[in-house]
Amino acid sequence: MVSLEVFQEQFGRLKEAERGKDQLIEDLISRVKELELVLTEKTLHLEREQETTKLYQSKHYDAQEKLKRMDDDIFVDNLIKSAQQGGVEAAYHLRSKVSEYVSTDLDLPSHVQIRVRIYANTKGLASVYCYNRILENIDDFSMFVRGFNMGHPMCDFVDAGDGKECADSKLKGNVKAVSFLGWFKGKRP
């Protein structure tokens, strides 16, 4: 027959196992609460980031629309006809208009560095200007582009090639690269 001491010893081990099980459950519950708090914080942060992104995308779209409307005001035929000097003036006027827009409509500081990069089929544009008798010589458009590029160190008029979507794909690629670089450096909007 088993003695009372053996039963008491087994009962003690079972009580110890129960205490260990209870402690494990308490630890697990505590950890789940911590993780729920972290998840809530991350969810709120993500929602704020998404709202900020939507705001900046909206402002970016508005800026694009306004810049499209400014096209007619800035790149008038007289600047194109003025060849190199017209390119210099076009760079100046475009930077001035964009700076004005950025500081007034976007509420950004006036000292923000602005890079102007135009992607276009320069050969095709030159042909159109000559065909429409705005320019007499295709080389005048090359001089305009040269003047634009010389007009300011942050102004570039880039020949994107003569494919149908060349300028669009260059622009999209540049936007993706800048967006990735901003994300990589931790400079999210």
pLDDT tops 50 at residue 182: no
Dihedral of the alpha carbons of 101, 106, 111, 113, in degrees to the nearest 10: -80
For the entire predicted model, the pTM comes to: 0.54
Average pLDDT, the chain: 81
Confidence of residue 160 (pLDDT cuts 50, 70, 90): confident
Q: How far apart are CA 154 and CA 39, in angstroms?
A: 43
pLDDT tops 90 at residue 157: yes
Predicted local distance difference test score (pLDDT) of residue 188: 46
Give the pLDDT confidence of 1-37 residue by residue, as tens digits.
Answer: 778 888 888 888 888 888 888 898 999 999 999 999 9
Phi, psi of 20 (to 5 degrees): -65, -40
Q: Is the dihedral of CA 79, 80, 81, 82 positive or negative?
A: positive
Contact criterion met (CB below 8 Å) for 118 and 170: no
Phi, psi of 112 (to 5 degrees): -60, 135
Query: Phi-psi bin for 186: left (phi > 0), alpha (psi -120 to 50), beta?
Result: left
